[in-house]
Structure 1
């Protein structure tokens, strides 16, 4: 995609988002209105809950050279068999924005031309944390109607190969094939099969080669007034479709439109449940950690069918 065409798309989506931001809710989350949350509860038919997060990894791999660190801090080995009360304790640390662990990007995560979403100056992100648009904006969680569009299922393949791109036609084609329609305030999940490929073939350097959305597919999100986008990859394709912009989907969704992104989720447990039920929509709850000033958080979205 030529850079000038990307910039024109960026300006168009940015202007559209600015015109419709009126009720004080941050970014596209304004579309998740109370009545839509109530309506989403009606999606529950089976009483079945399914996690959309992958287990957090602690072993280095090609796509996770600095994995999370989990250390037991107590009790001491000599105290394990001692009489009396003891507690098992541990400590956890992780790089939130990696290429393996499931996480949510806050609206302060993406900077373009010195600005965050809504024209907030990038200087608001300080060494002490982000003063605006941090993950604390969703401290009360995100609850709404989730919709899963399975692109490999549409194309008749187990997964998309690294570098392949999901188009708007793919999204509308998946809707038709799955008999579901994405609407205002929905949490849209797009499966490219990244997790299944990783499981079957082993990890690779996903920073340089991965399937994702083509930048023009973000127009679909704008037209449908999607509130959140989640993928089982990074949502962006690598190599990038736009010269000089490594993460164009992140730029368009987060920085231009104020759509929080969830990266590196996993849908392999959800797909068979949806297929068996014949339904690809569900109640979805997202509860990031309460980390004031943080640019993102590990996350474990739960689909309730």
Structure 2
């Protein structure tokens, strides 16, 4: 059996945006989202209708997470029983009672933004920062600069599940930039430079149907690496890739056996922001009904110092 190539070899000639926005940049291709892009997105608001894209944390039906990560757990600290006889509820003047709780969660265990320093190879993260700056916390290219900046602009939904005639795309199904363009054409829209791309597969519906069996031979569907796809992302100046899967791309590339190639080719090398585990079902249904697949997208992950990712509840306005 032929071993998978090293990413250093596979991406040796891959495009890079390192240094494009200066040696200290930490938000990468989000720099493409200028005031002009924000205004262009805002101009698409016609109905005044909002769609939130975060999946529920602590869903009674289960939380889909990357294998090896555990779903968030919520712990009650105080509730009404805390003031029963023998309880430990604090006393406040006037008799106030309250509920309080906390969660224990992977920061990337729900709908979230990756930091640009989340993945790397060859000892370098985004913009050429030394990978040893990740030790203890991300000193460079953490999620904090993305959270501080915020994300807003014109976005397009590419409903790949409907395009391929499937309720949910199965494991291992791949598609590329030419399929994205064909899907856009079928929907009556054009992907423009600097668009935020939102890709629907509805693959996580299989998680809710299958339970733990979903993880057997885990390999999500999604975009698959090619030099042409990476060049297209660079030429189109795509700032943000948003999907409803756990990892935004086919997990193991069927052409070379490498895991998460696009995390490196797009995020590490081009600085494309990745947003994962979104719930696109209400939005997709509305788009199918009104035939409007372009809209205003706005998001800001939680500001967490030195973190490799952070939860987010993106909002689409139509």
Does the CA contact (< 8 Å) of 2:18 and 2:126 recur in 1?
no
The answer on 1:87 being equivalent to 2:113 is: no
Structure of larger gyration radius: 2
What is the deviation of 1:172? Answer: 0.9
Instruction: Give the deviation of 1:244 after TM superposition.
Output: 5.8
Taking structure 1 as reference, are residues 22 and 35 closer, same or farther at Cα in structure 2, changes over 3 Å only?
Answer: farther
* Other structure's SS at 1:293 match: coil
Give the match's secondary structure for 2:13: helix
Q: RMSD value over aligned CA atoms?
A: 2.8
1:69 corresponds in structure 2 to 73
Question: Structure 2: how far apart are the matches of 1:280 and 1:235?
Answer: 20
Answer yes or no: is the 8 Å Cα contact 2:41–2:154 preserved in 1. Answer: yes
**Per-residue deviation at 1:45?**
0.7
Q: Report the count of equivalent residues.
A: 300
Structure 1 counterpart of 2:155 = 146
Shift in Å, 1:199: 3.4
Indicate yes or no: 2:198 matched with 1:196.
no
- In the alignment, the residues of structure 2 paired with residue 265 and residue 275 of structure 1 have an alpha-carbon distance, to the nearest angstrom, of 18
Match of 1:133 in 2: 141
Structure 2 length-normalised TM: 0.85
Instruction: State the alpha-carbon separation in 2 of the partners of residues 276 and 6 from structure 1.
Output: 45
Q: What does residue 232 of structure 1 align with?
A: 244
> Could you tell me how far apart the structure 1 residues matched to 2:286 and 2:224 are?
28
Matches within 5 A, 1:137-286: 137-138=145-146, 139-202=148-211, 204-205=214-215, 208-216=218-226, 217-233=229-245, 234-241=247-254, 243=256, 245-286=258-299
Q: Distance in 1 between matches of 2:52 and 2:231?
A: 28
Query: Partners of 2:157 and 2:12 in 1: how far apart?
Result: 25
List per-residue Cα deviations over 1:204-253 (Å, max 9, x = no partner): 11772211110123433222111000111121213333546311011111
Structure 1 spans left out of the alignment, 5+ residues: none
What's the counterpart of residue 32 of structure 2?
31
**d(CA) in 2 for partners of 1:39, 1:187:** 12
Distance 1:11 1:97 in 2: 30
Do the aligned residues in 1 keep the contact of 2:240 with 2:274 (CA within 8 Å)?
yes
Are the aligned partners of 2:64 and 2:71 in contact in 1 as well (CA < 8 Å)?
no
Query: Greater shift after overlay, 178-187 or 130-139?
Result: 178-187
State the SS of the aligned residue for 1:29. Answer: helix
CA contact (8 A) 2:80 2:98 kept: no
Task: Tell me, yes or no, if structure 1 residue 21 matches structure 2 residue 34.
Answer: no
Asked whether the equivalents of residues 195 and 266 of structure 1 are also in contact (C-alpha less than 8 Å), the reply is: no
Deviation at 1:62, TM superposition (A): 8.0
**Separation (CA, whole Å) in 1 of partners of 2:163 and 2:126:** 33
Contact 1:37 1:144 in 2 (8 A): yes
**Alignment deviations for residues 67-107 of structure 1 (CA, whole Å, 9 cap, x no partner):** 10211111461416997112211111211234xx2111010
Which of residues 293, 304, 314 in structure 2 aligns to 1:291?
A: 304
Q: Classify the secondary structure of the residue corresponding to 1:13.
A: coil
State the shift of 1:182 in Å: 2.1
